[in-house]
Amino acid sequence: MSRNAHVAAEDASADEILRFSGVSMRYGRGPEVLSDVSLSLPRGSFHFITGPSGAGKSSLLKLIYLAARPSSGSIRLFGEDVGAAPASILPRMRRRIGVVFQDLLLLDHLSAFDNTALPLRIAGHKPSEYRGDVAELLAWVGLKSRMHALPPTLAGGEKQRLAIARAVVGRPEILLADEPTGNVDHEMALRIYRLFVELNRLGTTVIIATHDQDLVARSARPVLHLDKGRLRPLPPQGPVE
């Protein structure tokens, strides 16, 4: 059973993983890209963020993966007030989040294996602890025969899956994906979606920003709909899985 989006701010609970309270954001002195956004997401939920281009989807994700700060309002992530948290704990919070960036941000000079292992290396794990897991994960996303390959030699879908492997290898508590099916065919989009569902079943909170209305409709997952930087609730559509 899917959970509903808690668009309005609610009382914090033990199950809450993310809360936005009246969050607005602007880049420099530009116009607001997000206005008065309030939401509360329970741990283990699965949400889509939809909206037209420029609606603020990527900016919302940036705020969640701590790549930007709100110009007003407050964000609670993993029970911490992000604005009041000392800068020194932000890296540790980022390690609890896996991100599939819109432009993937793969490192071209590192092999698929090295790219995937990157979050584990940063977290200070020893290679002997994760070699097997990384190989298993790459096999799971269908890149078993491409582990040594450099990203520029990979096809679009392979790159996408590599970015996903890197995002999930550290078993993040939250998985954010920005247009993860933007450059792949329908078949691949469904395969990737099923991968996210599997991760969600294992307990990861999943948030996907997408334009793919067909995927959203098929999934029957709750939707956070953004329009001109404002959050508008949309009920789940289509059959519930």
Partner 1 sequence: MSEAFDPQRWRPAPFLPQEDARDPALLFVVAVLSFLACLTALGVIASSRAAQGWTDQLTAEATVIVRARGGETPDAAAARAAEVLAGVPGVSEARALEKEKAYALIEPWIGDVADLDDLPVPRLVAVGLDARKPATAAALGRALKAQELDAVVDDHSVWIEDIRGAAEVVRWIASAILLLIAGAAAAVVAFATRAGIAARKDVVEVLHLTGAEDGQISNLFELRFAGIAAVAGAAGALAAGLLGGALRLVGGGEGITPALPIAWVDLLVVLPCPVLAALVAAVAARITARRLIQRL
Q: How far is residue 166's CA from residue 189's CA, in Å, rounded to a whole number?
A: 18
CB of 141 to partner 1, least distance (A): 15
| Residue 89: both structure tokens together | 């704990």
Among 8, 12, 67, 155, binds partner 1 (CB under 8 A): 67
Residues 182-241 that bind partner 1 (CB under 8 A): none
| Residue 214: both structure tokens together | 């067909």
Among 2, 24, 111, 183, binds partner 1 (CB under 8 A): 111
CB of 108 to partner 1, least distance (A): 8
Q: Is 69 in the site for partner 1 (CB under 8 A)?
A: no
Q: Is 145 in the site for partner 1 (CB under 8 A)?
A: yes
Of the candidate spans 5-13, 71-79, 142-150, 231-239, the one that interacts with partner 1 by CB under 8 A turns out to be: 142-150
Q: How far is residue 54's CA from residue 34's CA, in Å, rounded to a whole number?
A: 10
Q: Which is nearer to partner 1, 118 or 190 (CB)?
A: 118
CB of 118 to partner 1, least distance (A): 6
Among 117, 154, 192, 226, binds partner 1 (CB under 8 A): 117
Binding site for partner 1 (CB under 8 A): 65, 67, 88, 91-95, 99, 101, 105, 107-111, 113-114, 117-119, 121-123, 127, 131-132, 134-135, 145-149, 166
